[in-house]
Amino acid sequence: FRLTLRAAQGFIDSIFSLMNVPLRCPDYSCVSRRAKSVNISFKTPTRGEIAHLVIDSTGLKVFGEGEWKVKKHGQERRRIWRKLHLAVDSKTHEIICADLSLNNVTDSEAFPGLIRQTHRKIRSAAADGAYDTRLCHDELRRKKISALIPPRKGAGYWPGEYADRNRAVANQRMTGSNARWKWTTDYNRR
C-alpha cells in the first residue's frame, strides 16, 4: 500500500481489531530498527533470452531554469540537457541497457551503441517512430532481432531486406494510420 511505517502500524492494528484478533502490530520504531538487519534479496532472471525489449529515451535537465519560470517570465540563462536512452525487458522490467548522451544526439544515432551493450539473445524490440531509420533497422537485422518500429507518417518503401517495415508501410497506406499495425503486432504492450 506504500504506507509509512507509522501509517502501516495503524492500518494493521485496525485490521486486527476489525477481525477481532487479539494481536497488536509491532511499534513502527521497532520495525525500523529491525529492518536494518533483515537481508532481502530480489532475484530476477537476468540470464537467458529476452522476449521483448522496449527502447526509448527521455530528456534530463542538468542545469538551468524550470519550465514554469521560462514560460512565465522568459528564458534568462542557458539550460543544459542530457538524453537518457534506455532498453528495458518488458517482462521483468529490468533495465538491460542504458546510455547517456548530449542533447544533440538523436535517438537513432544512439541506438546501435545501446543495442551492442547486451550479448543476450533478443527476440523482438519495440521503439517509437524516431527509430524508423535504416541505421536502426540494419542493427536489428544484424543481431537477428524482429523490429517493431512504426513507420513515420508518409513513409516510403525501402528496397532490400526490409520486409517487416515495408509491410507496416503498406498497412499504413491502406488504413491511413499505424493503429491497425500496432494492434496486430501487439506494439502497444510497450
Q: What is the model's pLDDT at position 190?
A: 67
pLDDT score, position 70: 72
* Average pLDDT per 10 consecutive residues for the chain, totaling 190 residues: 88 92 89 81 71 91 73 73 91 90 91 91 92 93 91 87 86 84 78
Whose CA is closest to 53, among 119, 134, 105, 125? 125
Report pLDDT for 37: 83
116-123 contact pairs (CB < 8 A, 24+):
117/87, 118/50, 118/87, 120/47, 120/48, 120/49, 120/50, 120/96, 121/48, 121/49, 121/50, 122/49, 122/50, 122/53, 123/49, 123/50, 123/51, 123/52
- The pLDDT score that the predictor gives to residue 33 is 86
| Domain boundaries along the sequence of the chain | 5-35, 50-65+87-189
